[in-house]
Structure 1
Amino acid sequence: MLKDAYPYYLANEPIYANKDLAVTDKYSGEIATHVALADRKAIDQGIAGTVKAAAAMAAMAPYERQAVLDHCVMRFRERSEELAMALCIEAGKPIRDARGEVGRLVDTFRVAAEEAVRIDGEVLNLEISARAKGYRGFTKRVPIGPCSFISPFNFPLNLAAHKVAPAIAAGCPFVLKPASRTPIGALIIGEVLAETNLPKGAFSILPCHRDGADLFTEDERLKLLSFTGSPQVGWDLKARAGKKPVVLELGGNAACVVDEDADLEDAVERIVFGAFYQSGQSCIGVQRIYGHRAIYDKLKQKLVAKTRTLKMGDPRDEETFIGPVISEGEAQRLENWIQEGVERGGTLLCGGGRNGAMLEPTLLENVPAGCSIVDDEAFGPVAVLEAFDDFDRVLETVNASTFGLQAGIFTRDLYKAHRAWDLLEVGGVVIGDVPSWRVDNMPYGGVKDSGLGREGIRWAIRDMTEERLLVIRTPQ
């Protein structure tokens, strides 16, 4: 169960400033706990703390940073069921999915611990002409400095971890703004970090309202902004971020292509998982499904039958697969999008019903382009089906989206797999599985409206460090 109240963390210290942020149980709608809400003064103090801590963080030896991360791994494992239940309550995430996210939290910090001692440089051969004779070059990577992180509600643990863990590995102090609807996971991470010997000011975790959050973006003392969330907010933040580098992990409208040679039983199992796990609230959740006409009817029949077996209900129930979406307002939005798709010629194959924040897993067929459920990011348990005849044409259809995060291709044809990799305008192509698949040491991110830059520990460390050159001349 959750505590009665949680502090925010300011310069490594828990501060019980107030109980102004009520966090609800997303299934019952009742208030589950209260969290201290940071004001503008606290945010300013948190940023000032990172500036003071920057030199000490940079001076930490790699093995010392690794020890901090190893401690986190140990404590997260010890507190795994507490973390999973917190996710279950604050995010409405089914308990099995919640445990899976805790596992990914552990993986992310474990990989970061390994990478902390691998931040290497390079020896450069500068003698490219006679004038450079006797010169040698070397590079190393140094911490970029204080970082600003803004994380979303849908993966409160893992998406915060993908910012926090590489920052510690790189030697960067940070301020983190967790989503106000799901702040508990990030605050538990803060509780564990407070047990370590990180320099004072190395981290602040500050839930706050948007009207006080502009400092996370605009303050020039911060040297990098990493944001995960909606495209509308993300691009606005980038425009206001000033000179600092910005990493954006934004929305998606992920497509899955099932070719005529695919193993249908396997494809259906994976697609249903990819479309509906944690109620579809994933930017790489399967939203558009394209099946080759030769197998389309069988694919549709099997998808509908499998979708109808998914159990909805209390996310604490071990058998629940579909829990609530984050709010009743989001469920209403999706219900309206479904109705629009049907009114404009689409066919409702299953689902579509809503009770509060609970929305039935829904499949639609032949919804025309221009409908929100086809063109925009659903971020809920809804997917659309359509048949295709030509593989190259369907790749063009996938590319017609303004988003480009990941795509999944079920084919056994090596040449088609490579063609998809060559032609699809996405950050990642997954062959033989859904676009929803991600492991935490791979480069992850999108193109077009889906964002800028890549997460994944090694790639995040690159963003959080700068290359510094040393040239040595040997007199001739």
Structure 2
Amino acid sequence: MSSFKIISPYSQTTLETIRYTPFDDTVNQLNHLKLGLPIQESLGISDRISILNKLIHILEKHIDTFATLITSEMGKPIAESYAEMKRALITLKSTIVDIQALRGEAIDSTIYGIPSNKIGIVQHFPLGIILCITPFNFPINLALHKLAPGFAAGNCLLFKPSPKTYLSAKKLVECCYEAGIPKECLQLIMPSIDDLQKLVSLSNINCISLTGSPDAAKSITQHMGLKKFLCELGGNDPFIVMPDADLSLAAKTAVSQRFGTAGQRCNAPKRFYIHESIYDDFKALVISETQSLTVGDPSLNTTDIGPMISIEVAQLLANSVQKAIKQGAISLLPIQREGALFHPIILESVLPDSPLIMDEVFGPVMVLQSFSDLNTAIKTINAGSYGLQAGIFTNDINLAKSTFNRLQVGALNLNDGPGFRADHFPFSGIKDSGIGSEGTRYTIEAMSYRKTLVI
């Protein structure tokens, strides 16, 4: 297959047919980036900052175009698409601040009695050429979480977006060129999966930065050889509600974070642990909140939930839900699906070993579970294969600190769900949730290496 169609999830119309990048062309683009390394060195940090500032103004000018593109390509409600673009601007601004804050150091060799009287001057240098692979769900902001810090640190970037949001990515690259990023420093590619497996093995690529699934990461590691690998992967994030919680806030947060982007977020809450003493009250609140949501045309400002990315994934999710119901699960809301549009549902009495609990569910399904003992709940959470983020609702700060120390996750949000993320915070998981940290400062550091001059 030499081409693919970009299909709008809601209207099911073909937006465009795109040709996969032939492997020889991709290699030529990679070789072209080698010319960008000395260009980056001559630009320096000040010029890179000026370019990123120009990019902010260009994206602001085209914000309506981007929001419409995102909604058309992946079905995100238009209000969410605008919110993503505003976050993308924050990512750029944060990158500019963080690259200016990057500091080297001078180390005295005599500290431990070494009689050499030497000083080590430590500075950061770019890794070289970085392959950036991004998903469909946040096509602009997650792309800029790699491209902006990578460029600011002096690297050259080979950008491979999701085929489902290629048009958004193409527009972003055009804006990057308009802002002044040289074409020798940024190239957009769309290889087939087979060609991508060959590409990652090439020695000209110094680092691979992936946001995707654990399966995608494992596939890359089988082919890439010895090179730096940064990956932000999936999550099966817990949402814990204690008896002293603000139940109204917890319910609103649960519904907003679980069903936003039609449930297609890596840090959306997916495992809900509700203390048995307030389980019924919480259940009633989330049912009411969910029933108030408007599901439908994502281009309308009044729509809360649009379609999933494709009819195929919506059907797979429907099959999983029906299987769980046959095994005893109870749906608290009617199960409705029209094409890729999957209305949000809430399930209870799901078997503990069901894929709806054990795996990352990328869709608008909330599974409620009650618990009596937090220690047991924490052990259950830690036994899972993911460790991205978590949320706990309680007014007991000591309990929150104890839970923070014990949960095997990259972040615990107090009185908020795991879906909270600030773009300048570290964003990292453990186990199958990834390797390394994102967040602008941490990506700059990860896309650099330290070099020491001893004098």
Shorter chain as normaliser: what TM range? over 0.9
Matched, 1:207 2:190: yes
- Write the distance in 1 (CA, Å) between the matches of 2:230 and 2:193: 19
2:247 alignment partner in structure 1: 264
1:245 alignment partner in structure 2: 228
| 1:415 to 1:331, Cα distance in 2 relative to 1, 3 A | same
Alpha-carbon offset, residue 328 of structure 1: 0.8
2:416 alignment partner in structure 1: 433
Alignment of 1:278-357 (within 5 A): 278-357=261-340
1:58 alignment partner in structure 2: 41
- Write the distance in 1 (CA, Å) between the matches of 2:388 and 2:250: 20
2:352 alignment partner in structure 1: 369
- Write the distance in 2 (CA, Å) between the matches of 1:269 and 1:129: 56
- Write the distance in 1 (CA, Å) between the matches of 2:114 and 2:212: 51
Matched, 1:127 2:110: yes
Alpha-carbon offset, residue 61 of structure 1: 1.6
1:403 alignment partner in structure 2: 386
Alpha-carbon offset, residue 133 of structure 1: 4.2
Matched, 1:143 2:126: yes
- Write the distance in 1 (CA, Å) between the matches of 2:403 and 2:338: 40
Paired residue for 1:37, among 6, 20, 24? 20
CA deviations 1:43-71 (Å, max 9, x no partner) are 10111011121122133221111011111
Aligned amino acid, residue 22 of structure 1: K
| 1:97 to 1:216, Cα distance in 2 relative to 1, 3 A | farther
Matched, 1:106 2:93: no
2:446 alignment partner in structure 1: 463
Alpha-carbon offset, residue 416 of structure 1: 1.1
CA deviations 1:311-368 (Å, max 9, x no partner) are 1100001111111101111111111111122122221111422111111101101211
Q: The residue matched to 1:289 in structure 2 has which SS?
A: strand
1:223 alignment partner in structure 2: 206
2:63 alignment partner in structure 1: 80
Alignment of 1:376-387 (within 5 A): 376-387=359-370
| 1:216 to 1:76, Cα distance in 2 relative to 1, 3 A | farther
1:10 alignment partner in structure 2: none
- Write the distance in 1 (CA, Å) between the matches of 2:150 and 2:261: 28
Paired residue for 2:427, among 426, 440, 444? 444
- Write the distance in 1 (CA, Å) between the matches of 2:115 and 2:219: 46
- Write the distance in 1 (CA, Å) between the matches of 2:374 and 2:5: 50
- Write the distance in 1 (CA, Å) between the matches of 2:181 and 2:338: 47
1:194 alignment partner in structure 2: 177
Aligned residues: 454
Alpha-carbon offset, residue 20 of structure 1: 4.2
Aligned amino acid, residue 201 of structure 2: E
1:180 alignment partner in structure 2: 163
- Write the distance in 2 (CA, Å) between the matches of 1:92 and 1:263: 32
Alpha-carbon offset, residue 214 of structure 1: 2.4
Instruction: Check conservation: 2:99, 2:441, Cα contact below 8 A.
Output: no
Across the aligned residues of Structure 1 and Structure 2, the Cα RMSD in angstroms comes to 1.4
Alpha-carbon offset, residue 239 of structure 1: 2.7
- Write the distance in 2 (CA, Å) between the matches of 1:351 and 1:384: 14
Alpha-carbon offset, residue 243 of structure 1: 1.3
Alpha-carbon offset, residue 200 of structure 1: 4.1
Alpha-carbon offset, residue 369 of structure 1: 1.6
Instruction: Check conservation: 2:153, 2:448, Cα contact below 8 A.
Output: yes
Alpha-carbon offset, residue 78 of structure 1: 0.8
Instruction: Check conservation: 1:66, 1:114, Cα contact below 8 A.
Output: no
Instruction: Check conservation: 2:177, 2:183, Cα contact below 8 A.
Output: no
TM-score, normalised on structure 2?
A: 0.97
Alpha-carbon offset, residue 100 of structure 1: 0.6
Q: The residue matched to 2:331 in structure 1 has which SS?
A: strand
- Write the distance in 2 (CA, Å) between the matches of 1:416 and 1:336: 39
2:76 alignment partner in structure 1: 93
Greater Cα shift, 296-305 or 132-141: 132-141
Matched, 1:28 2:25: no
- Write the distance in 2 (CA, Å) between the matches of 1:349 and 1:441: 38
Unpaired segments ≥5 residues, structure 1: 1-18
- Write the distance in 2 (CA, Å) between the matches of 1:46 and 1:351: 51
Alpha-carbon offset, residue 21 of structure 1: 3.9
- Write the distance in 2 (CA, Å) between the matches of 1:274 and 1:363: 14
Alpha-carbon offset, residue 306 of structure 1: 1.1
CA deviations 1:399-446 (Å, max 9, x no partner) are 222111111111111111111111111111111101011111011021
| 1:471 to 1:300, Cα distance in 2 relative to 1, 3 A | same
CA deviations 1:177-199 (Å, max 9, x no partner) are 11011112211111111113334
Aligned amino acid, residue 458 of structure 1: R
- Write the distance in 2 (CA, Å) between the matches of 1:97 and 1:129: 55
Q: The residue matched to 1:128 in structure 2 has which SS?
A: helix
CA deviations 1:247-294 (Å, max 9, x no partner) are 111111111000000001111111100100010000111111111111
| 1:436 to 1:130, Cα distance in 2 relative to 1, 3 A | closer
TM-score, normalised on structure 1?
A: 0.93
1:420 alignment partner in structure 2: 403
Instruction: Check conservation: 1:93, 1:315, Cα contact below 8 A.
Output: yes
Q: The residue matched to 2:132 in structure 1 has which SS?
A: strand
Instruction: State the identity %.
Output: 32
- Write the distance in 2 (CA, Å) between the matches of 1:89 and 1:332: 20
Alpha-carbon offset, residue 463 of structure 1: 1.1
- Write the distance in 1 (CA, Å) between the matches of 2:40 and 2:187: 14
2:342 alignment partner in structure 1: 359
- Write the distance in 2 (CA, Å) between the matches of 1:244 and 1:288: 34
1:5 alignment partner in structure 2: none
